[in-house]
A = this chain, B = another copy of it.
Amino acid sequence: MTNKITIKDVAEKAGVSVTTVSQILNGKGARFSKKTQERVLKLKDEMHYVPDFNARNLILHSSKTIGVLVPNIGNPFFSTFFRGIQTVCRNAHYLPLVFSASNDETTEKYYLGNLVERSVDGLIIASSSVTADTIDNILKPNRIPYLLFDRNQINDDGDRLQVDDYQGGSIAAEHLAKLGHKRIVVMMPKQLTRNLRKRLDGFINGLLQRGIHFNEEQDLVAAPLTKLGGYEQTDAVLKRRPTAVFCGNDELAIGLYRGLHEREIQIPEDLSVMGYDNIDLAEYVTPKLTTIEQPILELGETSARLILNRINDLQMSRQLVDVPVKLTERSSTGRPVE
């Protein structure tokens, strides 16, 4: 425990009661003498008294906080996403509390439980491991508003920010097909989250429409969505002799870059590589990465706005926001050399 200056300290020093100090500091001190009021206000400043927020919390069952659960704050996608949340929350005088859960259900449950104990006002859940069970047993009975970022399998009726992943996959397929690629590999995690599943479906159907066959059993290389994941699966990718690789996110693509550079395989001359997200890093790698752009900062800002709307009006109708994606063509994709 800290030794924070309390209202009791101020009252003792001023020689008045705690109630007197409280009323004066809350602007309800008219019934006390001018002298007492001034003495209390002066002591408050001199002693650097900061009112205790917990007292307010206890009465209002609100802490003016928004919990944010992300799978990995080390991925620039999520640090940018959080930056957007931080800006909107600050304007609304809420404090966003972010936790990185490493795609681990136990960890997510731990932070979620902690946040509920601390009377968090709302939750933005951008991690994938939060289960329907957790939502039904912790969030719903305590009527805590939450916003599901479209990564998990839960088919609930809550507010939702929907990035058009199907379209994203479809645009990626169109881009690679138009360049003339026919042997294409996809890198994604083994356990597909809801949004990745849609991304993959859009991609496969996009290829099919252009007469290109994709066999999910053979042409999908499993890798976690990290740089290391992409790097470690380089050989698994090359074994399939593709002319192009579509990566589940930019971090994976950057990991694959490393593996290809180490093997002196040229991008895009020997192999075209495509990412997903458009994190700032995509422009800093060589060659610059062709990717599907998500408006990441905007996603964070919109998430914060939706959850604040919901906190202010629990009864309002369901909020569903669709977010479009687009192709950002750079230098990592080109025509295949046969």
A61 near B6: Cβ-Cβ < 8 Å: yes
A86 with B62, Cβ < 8 A, contacts A52-B117, A117-B50 known: no
CB distance from A223 to the nearest CB of B (A): 15
Are B2 and A144 in contact (CB-based, < 8 A)?
yes
* Contact status of A100 and B74, CB under 8 A, knowing A114-B95, A257-B284, A284-B255: no
Tell which of B2, B285, B311 touches A119, judged by Cβ atoms closer than 8 Å: B2
Residue pair A4, B61 in contact (C-beta under 8 Å):
yes
Number of copies: 2
Contact of A206 with B by CB under 8 A: no
Determine if A58 is an interface residue (Cβ-Cβ < 8 Å).
yes
Q: Does A63 contact B (CB under 8 A)?
A: yes
Say yes or no for A258: interface residue by CB 8 A criterion: yes
- Given A61-B2, A97-B97, A110-B90 in contact, is the A141-B231 Cβ separation under 8 Å? no
Residues of B within 8 A of A110 (CB): 90
How many Å lie between the Cα of A114 and that of B96 in the bound state? 11
Contact, CB under 8 Å: A74 / B63: no
Query: In the complex, A50→B61 CA distance in Å?
Result: 12
- At the interface, yes or no: A314 with Cβ under 8 Å from chain B? yes
Could you mark each residue 115-132 of chain A with 1 if its beta carbon is under 8 Å from any beta carbon of chain B, else 0? 011111110000000000
Given A86-B100, A90-B110: A141 in contact with B47 (beta carbons within 8 A): yes
- With A48-B137, A74-B79 already in contact, the answer to whether A119 and B54 are too (CB < 8 A) is yes
- Tell me whether A60 and B3 are in contact (CB under 8 A): no
Minimum CB–CB distance from A7 to chain B (whole Å) comes to 11
- Complex: how many Å from CA A231 to CA B285? 12
* Docked pose: A63 CA to B55 CA in angstroms: 12
Contact count band on A = 35 or more
Question: For residues 274 through 306 of chain A, which have their beta carbon under 8 Å from a beta carbon of chain B?
Answer: 280-281, 283-286
Q: Which of A59-108 contact B (CB under 8 A)?
A: 60-63, 73-74, 76, 79-80, 82-83, 86, 90, 95, 97-100
Report which residue of A82, A137, A311 has the largest number of chain B beta carbons within 10 angstroms of its beta carbon: A82
User: Which residue of A1, A227, A311 has the most chain B CB atoms within 10 A of its CB atom?
Assistant: A1
Asked whether A145 is an interface residue with its Cβ less than 8 Å from the other chain, the reply is: yes
Q: Is the CB of B280 within 8 A of A261?
A: no
* Complex Cα spacing A52 to B63, Å: 11
In the complex, A176 has a CB within 8 A of chain B: no
Complex: A119 Cα to B4 Cα, angstroms: 8
Do B143 and A2 touch (CB < 8 A)? yes
CB within 8 Å of B: which residues of A? 1-6, 47-48, 50-55, 57-58, 60-63, 73-74, 76, 79-80, 82-83, 86, 90, 95, 97-100, 110-111, 113-114, 116-122, 137-138, 141-145, 227-228, 231, 254-255, 257-258, 261, 280-281, 283-286, 311, 314
